[in-house]
Homo-oligomer: A and B are copies of this chain.
Amino acid sequence: MTNQQKFSRLRKILDDASVYGRSIGKLNFDMQCCAPEEGMEQAGEDIAVLSKQLFRLTHSKTYARLVTELAADHEGLSPVQQKVVEHKNDAWQKGKNISAKLDYEMTLAYSRAYAKWLEAKKADDYSIFRDAFADLIGYTRKAIDLRDEKKATYYDACLDDYEKGGSIAQLDAFFGALKERIVPLLARIEKDGKPIRTDFMSRPCPIPQQEAFSKYLLELEGLRGSALVLMTTEHPFTTNFGPHDVRVTTHYYEENFVSNIFTTLHEGGHALFMQNEPEEFYREHAANSMSNAMHECISRFYENLIGRSEAFIHFIYPKLREITGDTFADVTERELYEAANVAQPGLIRCDADELTYCLHILIRYELEKAFVNGEITVDEIPALWNAKYKEYLGVDVPDDASGCLQDVHWSGSYGYFPSYALGSAYGAQILHTMQKELDVFGLAAKGDLLPIRDWLKEHVFSIASVSTPDEWIRAITGESLNVRYFLDYLEQKFSALYAL
């Protein structure tokens, strides 16, 4: 059998697996956007059955043989096919020593941890989550122990899983640089910053107005309407089932219109990535293999770098006034820009502004590094969380529900949080390069975002799923990740905004 014939056999298995993957994805989507309360239990059971079938398809002897043989000898495969084999082999090597029994135990541990986290957050009682949390950390370490390839520490392995090549050494330097400039900048703002008017931010806007504006923004970003749906859900997310079926969800609050503008732009950024990977990636099962930081880079690019720019606010201001009647009649364009960018230390990551956001991530990074590597126990987390919020953000955490229980992530994964901060830094570096070729803010001021989408499609989306993060950012910008672009951007923007 030639390598191309082997790849064809592998592709056939992956085709079948994709059917199950998409079906499970749609059942999940259905649970979040359609199904009634009483339907959840049955839906969960159905997903479990389909998942078992999916697991079988990608854990057969044939599958393992094809993947490992092609990884050892990929002559005759296209570059994209080689990358697919590399990714599948990586995943196979990481999981191959996990027995079906352990895999099943871990699945149960995840479900339990998620349920306990929900309960604990609702009851504001960390002790409810504690044991399931500790178990999950234990399973994470056990699964890493079973790998043939070893990393320096457990948390290094976690980081590498989410961001190939990532390590504590890299991220200590990265977050150190962030802390060094953001903390003093924030202190200067609090001490010397000019006051910013925000009284109008929570004025109620009817939801149909907000919905109309969301649709307008998604169109502006350059999303193909025939391959897009916009729906509502409790916790907004974006997902896709191939490039022709991309789904943005949002949550409208009558009194939170302005915030919804940026949620929509953010989710729309994810959607653009999903609609614009090369068709070949989908055909060969290479698509959707970008890192989370790459995805977050694009969503935050549209939310912050474009969306919260003075140029873009200038463009949408008349449309916003047109759609909202007299609601914002007394608000100037400049006031809207300033209010959309106000920097205000707070308790909740999801509500954080562009400047303080990375400090929320920093706190999570420092904590998960410590508890995954066994330097602290789960019992120490709440107090340490609160101390760090006081130290970096100057806020007092009143309870664990708005403290260390606020995010879902630790009920399932460790090493994910840094993606958000890395994404912001990638974005600023890419913007710097893009500006050499495009008048980015001139375009934003005209609402002409299509050249920006097309530039990203050509330089960013076209290689993400077949590159490591470092290969990717070097191919786009000519250098490895350099946090200076992001920090310079923040310093310039917020110094001007607050007249420092």
A residues near B (Cβ < 8 Å) are 16, 19, 22-23, 26-27, 29-30, 33-39, 41-43, 45-46, 49-50, 224-229, 231, 241-242, 244-247
Contacts and interface: CB of A to CB of B under 8 A. Distances in A.
A33 B34 contact: yes
A41 B229 contact: no
Contact of A23 (B23, B34, B227, B247): B23
A138 B231 CA distance: 43
- Dominant SS among interface residues on chain A: helix
A38 B229 contact: no
Given A23-B46, A42-B242, 9 more contacts: A19-B45, A23-B50, A30-B30, A34-B229, A34-B231, A36-B228, A38-B227, A39-B241, A43-B245
A469 to B, nearest CB: 29
A211 to B, nearest CB: 12
Contacts of A247: 34, 36
A29 B34 CA distance: 10
Nearest to A50: B23
Given A23-B46, A27-B26, A50-B19, A244 B33 contact: no
Contacts of A23: 23, 27, 46, 50
Contacts of A39: 227, 241-242, 244-245
Counting every copy of the chain, the complex holds 2
23 contacts: A16-B49, A19-B45, A19-B49, A19-B50, A22-B46, A23-B27, A26-B26, A29-B34, A34-B229, A34-B231, A35-B245, A36-B225, A36-B226, A36-B227, A36-B244, A36-B245, A38-B224, A39-B227, A39-B244, A39-B245, A41-B244, A42-B242, A43-B241
A247 B246 CA distance: 23
Contacts of A241: 39, 42-43
A34 B34 contact: yes
Nearest to A24: B23
Nearest to A18: B46
A262 B39 CA distance: 26
Contacts of A227: 36-39
Contacts of A19: 45-46, 49-50
A50 to B, nearest CB: 6
A37 to B, nearest CB: 5
Contacts of A22: 42, 46
A285 to B, nearest CB: 14
A106 to B, nearest CB: 22
Given A22-B46, A27-B23, A50-B19, A35 B226 contact: no
A117 B428 CA distance: 54
Contact of A30 (B26, B42, B46): B26
A38 B231 contact: no
A90 to B, nearest CB: 27
